[in-house]
Amino acid sequence: MKTLPFEDLGFAQVDHHRYLRQGFPEVVFGQGKTPEQIAQIAASISKKSSKFLVTRAEEDAYKEVIKLVPEAKFNELARVIYFDQNNSPTEKIKGLSVICAGTSDLPVALEASITAELMGCEVLQIFDVGVAGIHRLFDKLNVIRESKVLVVVAGMEGALPSVIGGLVDIPIIAVPTSVGYGASFGGLSALLGMLNSCAPGISVVNIDNGFGAGYFAGNLIVNNK
């Protein structure tokens, strides 16, 4: 109780009460923080929680984290450092699929996947099924329709969520990515395309926000099991 509701590290106020309020500990945004700061925050969270997640992290930060939390893992492509002391595949809740349009969208899709897995979801990953080769999507359609929630990640013109939205009766969380040539405006074209979708049942998170999509999807799955 001494460190509730937060712990003052001098450079950060670590919110240990968040797990009690929201069912998941504070997530650390690694970008802009030093490796040492990230490591100290992660160590602080690990003392009060069985898991933690650091997004937008680099390998030098991971090297510092494992000095204090040796069990921590790092996904270089997703740029996330994570720790799950109670990881047990038998406890995962089924129903979530993470779909991405192209291989270039994988970092964002993996960030969403790892976030949802830490929240207790079993994630089905369906990658590289963009509209440029739409037959690849149709090949997976029966599996997709068995899901309860979809996270759909796409860059360029951001068409994939609209296409899937017209084929399923499942809630879709659309994630625009910054992948694309100049006129994609760093993901703005995909964002606007998704926001303007005529397919019903689609909600949209910010550009490259795989974490936000994974967290929201995890809440939907875990709280409605």
Write out pLDDT tens, residues 119-178: 999 999 999 999 999 999 999 999 999 999 999 999 999 999 999 999 999 999 999 999
Whether 15 shows a pLDDT value over 80: the answer reads no
Q: Check if the beta carbon of residue 84 is closer than 8 Å to that of residue 184.
A: no
For residues 91 and 60, the model is more confident at 60
d(CA 90, CA 100): 26
Measured CA distances, 151 to 39, 66, 69, 154, 197 (Å): 30, 30, 30, 10, 15
**For the purposes of burial, counting CB atoms within 10 Å of the CB of 132, is it exposed (0-12), middle (13-18) or buried (19 or more)?**
exposed
d(CA 42, CA 38): 6
> What pLDDT score does 102 carry?
94
For residues 91 and 90, the model is more confident at 91
Residue pointed to by tokens 């309860």:
148
> What pLDDT score does 42 carry?
92
Q: Which residues neighbour 66 within 8 Å (Cβ) at sequence distance 6 or greater?
A: 72
Tell me the average pLDDT across 177-196: 95
Q: Coil, strand, or helix at residue 69? A: coil
- State the pLDDT confidence band at 6, using cuts at 50, 70 and 90: confident
Residues of the chain with CATH 3.40.50.1970: 89-222
* Residue spans of alpha helices (H) in the chain: 18-22, 35-48, 59-68, 106-118, 135-139, 141-144, 160-165, 188-195, 210-222
Whether 7 shows a pLDDT value over 80: the answer reads no
Q: What percentage of the chain exceeds 90 in pLDDT?
A: 77
Q: Check if the beta carbon of residue 114 is closer than 8 Å to that of residue 214.
A: yes
- State the pLDDT confidence band at 46, using cuts at 50, 70 and 90: confident
Residue pointed to by tokens 């689609």:
202
C-alpha neighbours within 13 Å on the C-beta side of residue 47 = 15
For residues 204 and 92, the model is more confident at 204
> What pLDDT score does 4 carry?
67
> What pLDDT score does 193 carry?
96
Whether 34 shows a pLDDT value over 70: the answer reads yes
Whether 13 shows a pLDDT value over 90: the answer reads no
Cα-to-chain-centroid distance, residue 49: 19
Q: Would you state the CATH architecture of domain 89-222?
A: 3-Layer(aba) Sandwich (3.40)
Whether 78 shows a pLDDT value over 70: the answer reads yes
Count, residues in the chain: 225
